[in-house]
Amino acid sequence: MNRWQVSRSAQGGLNVVLWVTADLVVERSTTTEVSATFISMLARFDRTADLDLYQDGAELFSQALNEAALTRLEAALAALPTNAPGVRIGEGRKLKPFLEVAGPIGGIAATALGADARPVRAILFDKTPERNWALGWHQDRTIVVRERVGADGFGPWTLKSGLIQVEPPFDILERMVTLRVHLDQVDANNAPLRIVPGSHRLGRLREAEVQRVVTTSGERLCLAERGDVWIYATPIVHASLAADPPRRRRVLQVDYSADAAPYPLAWHGI
Ligand SMILES: O=C(O)CCC(=O)C(=O)O
């Protein structure tokens, strides 16, 4: 399997390693910055369609939504504010037909979690020339709940866009999947999600461990066409580049769980 990895050197430059199999290093170089051309070059070695949800923690559902469904989805999202990098969707009545298991997005979640899969959080990420950002390596660690209730193993708590977020015991996250619905094409220069295959099986990682996992395991780019849906194991180690040059990149990201409730709390839901 082709893999590549970029890490920061002690001198502040970047070390770049490219494999064509798990143990054959074909290219090793040091550079001072990751240029758009360089990312494109790496992407040519990246066949993202070969990733598998159980093995790698991510899988592509190519062309899951056709143009008619995408137009309806855009209409359902049209009323959302556009002044923030990630818009958290508290109430998504218009999205329901898409997100429930009988719908085109929920149906994909059900392939991993079964018929009890339900959407528990949705965020619209809208990168534009005016709002463009990169995000470092991390694991998603929070869920959204209805109210703050003292509960063993839950915390810290935060409030974002009026929604109560809490870090739950990690096994709740390990039973969740995250779907990313692509409304715009994501090529190597349009801010693809970067993932570390297999990192979803490593449990909760400390900051320093996250970087070590990236360095030792390497990363893949999750490229997409408009209408594609990626499914991820929620705890996967991931990051995102800024679009270069800046372009529109809309992704509807939805977390799913089949757990009845994050006991003793209740899912906020969509
Ligand atoms: O869509 C992106 O750019 C990154 C999203 C992300 O990393 C996250 O939600 O944790």
Q: Is the shortest distance between the CB of 174 and ligand 1 below 6 Å?
A: no
In tens, the pLDDT along 212-262 reads: 999 999 999 999 999 999 999 999 999 998 999 999 999 999 999 999 888
Closest Cα to atom 4 of ligand 1: 240
Q: Measure 153 CA to ligand 1 centroid, in angstroms.
A: 25
Q: Is the shortest distance between the CB of 135 and ligand 1 below 6 Å?
A: yes
Q: Is the shortest distance between the CB of 125 and ligand 1 below 6 Å?
A: yes
Q: What is the mean pLDDT of residues 45-54?
A: 76
The answer as to whether 217 is a domain residue is: yes
CB atoms within 10 A of CB 91: 10
**pLDDT of 1:** 38
Q: Measure 239 CA to ligand 1 centroid, in angstroms.
A: 7
Choose the weakest-confidence range: 19-28, 92-101, 116-125: 19-28
Q: What is the mean pLDDT of residues 161-187?
A: 95
**pLDDT of 261:** 82
The answer as to whether 159 is a domain residue is: yes
Q: Is the shortest distance between the CB of 240 and ligand 1 below 6 Å?
A: yes
Q: What is the mean pLDDT of residues 38-57?
A: 70
In terms of residue numbers, what domain contains 77? 49-257
Closest CA to 265 of 159, 119, 178, 143: 143
Closest Cα to atom 9 of ligand 1: 140
HSE, CB side, 13 Å, CA atoms: give it for residue 132. 16
The answer as to whether 31 is a domain residue is: no
DSSP code, position 44: T
Write the CB contacts of 59 (distance below 8 Å, at least 6 apart in sequence).
51, 52, 53, 230, 231
Higher pLDDT, 10 or 113: 113
Closest Cα to atom 2 of ligand 1: 240
Cβ pair 120, 256 in contact under 8 A: yes
The answer as to whether 239 is a domain residue is: yes
User: For a pocket test of ligand 1, which of 177, 186, 199, 253 has the largest count of ligand atoms closer than 8 A to its C-beta?
Assistant: 253
Question: In whole numbers, what is the pLDDT of the chain averaged over residues?
Answer: 85
The answer as to whether 225 is a domain residue is: yes
In tens, the pLDDT along 124-136 reads: 999 999 999 899 9
- Entry pTM: 0.83
Q: Measure 171 CA to ligand 1 centroid, in angstroms.
A: 21
**pLDDT of 29:** 46
In tens, the pLDDT along 182-216 reads: 999 999 999 999 999 999 999 999 999 999 999 99
The answer as to whether 268 is a domain residue is: no
* Cα distance between residue 125 and residue 252, in whole Å: 6
**pLDDT of 47:** 52
**pLDDT of 111:** 96
| pLDDT classification of 79: cutoffs 50, 70, 90 | confident
Higher pLDDT, 251 or 26: 251
Higher pLDDT, 45 or 209: 209
In tens, the pLDDT along 80-110 reads: 776 666 788 777 788 999 999 999 999 999 9
Number of structural domains found in the chain: 1
The answer as to whether 11 is a domain residue is: no
Q: Measure 221 CA to ligand 1 centroid, in angstroms.
A: 13
The answer as to whether 262 is a domain residue is: no
Q: Which of helix, strand or coil describes residue 251?
A: strand
What's 136's domain CATH number? 2.60.120.620
